[in-house]
Amino acid sequence: MKIVFAVVHDEDSNKVTNALNENGFSVTRLCSSGGFLRSGNTTLFVIVEEAKVDAVIDLIKTKSKSRKQMINTAIGQGSMSAGFMPYPVEVVVGGATIFVLNVERFEKV
């Protein structure tokens, strides 16, 4: 058995979950947030037989899309008393970060 952890953007989480459910995979969802942008993510847990790991990953890939987003970063103006000026920067968000781990024991009660 394997456990697939997938961290997906909140905008993609329903599409990913629905696709996994429609293909017979049970999913547990947890709300999470990223450390860099502190934006909303969803962490999905899927327990599968090793032979089905690639099918789960393919579904996640097809339903998780990266996109560009503008964020404001603070740039100093020389001295600490001068404060910071917001500076817009374009970053890529979304997509998925996927981890696959061995499961030593699994029970559904």
DSSP string, the chain: -EEEEEEEEHHHHHHHHHHHHHTT---EEEEEE-SSS--EEEEEEEEE-GGGHHHHHHHHHHH--EEEEEEEEEEE-SSGGG-EEEEEEEEEEESEEEEEEE-S-----
What structural domains and CATH numbers belong to the chain? 2-65+93-102 (3.30.70.120)
2-59 residue pLDDT tens: 999 999 988 899 999 999 999 999 999 998 766 555 667 899 999 999 999 999 999 9
Q: pTM of the predicted model, to two decimals?
A: 0.73
> Given a cut of 70, is residue 93 above it in pLDDT?
no
56-80 residue pLDDT tens: 999 999 999 877 766 666 655 555 5
Highest mean pLDDT range out of 13-17, 76-80, 92-96, 103-107? 13-17
Burial class (CB in 10 A: 0-12, 13-18, 19+), 98: middle
